[in-house]
Amino acid sequence: MGNDQPATLTRRDALKAGIASAAAAAVWPSGLAYAVEPRAAAGLPGKARSVIQIWVWGGPCHIDTFDPKPGAGAEYTGPLTAPIETSVSGIRIGELLPELGKIADKYSLIRSLTHENNGHETASYITQTGRMPGGRIVYPGIGAVVSLFKGYEAGYKGLIPPYMVLTQLQGRFSESGFLGTRAKPFATGGDPNQPRFVVEGVVAQGITDPQQAERRELRRKLDTLAVTLKDDPRIVALGECEAAAYDLILGEGRKIFDLSQEKDDLRARYGRSTFGQSCLMARRLVEQGVPFVTINYQGWDTHKSHFETMRRKLPEMDRGVATLIQDLSDRGLLDSTIVWWCGEFGRTPRVQWEAPWNGGRGHWGSVFSALVAGGGFRGGQVVGASDATGSEVANRPVHPADVLRSMYMLMGIDPDGPLPHPQGLDVRVAPATSEGIKTYGHLAEIM
């Protein structure tokens, strides 16, 4: 999708770059450090401080989740024929989502997302950047943009990097695009459902805290350069960065990743699965002020055995997302935290019963659904509609760029403001119609 992507960096470098802005600015080449002048979104106060993105990796079926079509017949519904009523009159969702049904007043559904693209990589790029793939510019995803405007350059002081991913990067596109290494996400690796959540670069497997401290002391004794050039600003900056890194590994920052501090009954409510505990971990991160957290939730590319997979995945998703939204609400965090549930596209409305699929669903970018909650989004609403079979948009189309624009506005980021490009190109935060993208306006009806 272009040839201007920045060079890769090591995990250790990424962690250092994300820990201390003053140190990082001195360490990194000037071409990678941008002076950012955040511009407030006109007419909105920027209520949201954080975003939790639940990326339903592979493409969830809109008909089986948030846009059921019981009247379309079994060739469209398969065995999932009985959508449930929710706590909001007139809103029904898939039968395997009872916990989300109980809190429908706390989120809104978008049932008319569309971009007409059926490729995983290209659809992911469109949905997370708002731009069309191709051309010489590789645009950053929303997580990188929020990290830039709400991270260290904007005064963020947290030990945890401002853009976190639980637990693996997608690898489908460059999340940071032309913004480069300073806006790259930090992926934890590991599994938060294990007795010890081993966060790569922070919590080492098989190494105790005293051993970590001993290694630090040995490194200090061997670092003759730091002694010789102790007054050099670059050495001072590196020292500050190292101190912050060790504080994250051995100090207060480490405790954020320790889920054993949570009550067992709450952990059980989230679900003792990798996804459920990732949702709990995401809550802990935004509680600490982390601006953007992505949960990359795999397993939704259901070309075969679709309904068998749905009977496993949907209850797990239902429990984790419903508990996350309710927990944020109970703690007074939902008003300042956007929860965004979405995949790259939907799935074919007509079930593919024929061989070799034998009851699967393919890719479908013509119309799909998303859930948004908190951070200034009103709950209990539905935006747009698909047709009787969930095949096309019936009214109020929404392009992914419209969703991103809305979230930028709620974060207090001017969607029409500039993004710093390393070659000085004139690039805006959100795409404009002049870029050839057919957008339909931000989600004013639920903001």
Q: What is the pLDDT of residue 37?
A: 52
Percent of the chain whose pLDDT exceeds 70: 79
User: Length of the chain in residues, anyone?
Assistant: 447
pLDDT digits (tens, 9 = 90+) for 82-141: 999 999 999 999 999 999 999 999 999 999 999 999 999 999 999 999 999 988 899 999
The dihedral over CA atoms of 78, 380, 400, 443, expressed in degrees to the nearest 10, equals: 150
- Is the bond into 114 cis (omega within 30 degrees of 0)? no
The pLDDT of residue 11 is 46
Q: CA-CA distance, 53 to 407, in Å (whole number)?
A: 11
38: pLDDT strictly greater than 60: no
Residue 435 has pLDDT above 50, yes or no: yes
Q: Which amino acid is at 447?
A: M
Identify the CA nearest to 305 among candidates 365, 368, 351, 363. 351
What is the SS3 assignment for 186? strand
3-class DSSP string for 397-433: CECHHHHHHHHHHHCCCCCCCEECCCCCCCEECCCCH
Give helix then strand counts, H and E, for the chain: 14, 16
DSSP-derived 3-state class of residue 160? coil
Beta-bridge mates of residue 109: 371, 382
The average confidence (pLDDT) of the chain is: 86
Map tokens 């101190």 to a residue. Answer: 243
Q: How confident is the model at residue 6 (pLDDT cuts 50, 70, 90)?
A: very low
Of 22-31, 289-298, 338-347, which range is least confident? Answer: 22-31
Least-confidence region, from 32-41, 100-109, 255-264, 306-315? 32-41
- The mean per-residue pLDDT over the stretch 171-194 comes to 88
At 206 the pLDDT is 64
β-pair partners for 192: none
Q: Per-residue pLDDT for 369 more than 50?
A: yes
The whole-model pTM stands at: 0.85
Kindly report, residue by residue over 227-274, the tens digit of the pLDDT.
676 667 766 665 655 565 556 655 666 788 999 999 999 999 999 999
- Dist. CA 77–CA 357, nearest whole Å: 16
- Alpha helix positions (H), 192-332: 209-222, 224-228, 233-250, 252-256, 264-270, 274-287, 306-330
Instruction: Calculate the alpha carbon distances from 125 to 128, 334, 365 in Å.
Output: 5, 27, 13
Q: What is the pLDDT of residues 154-170, one digit of tens each?
A: 889 888 899 999 999 98
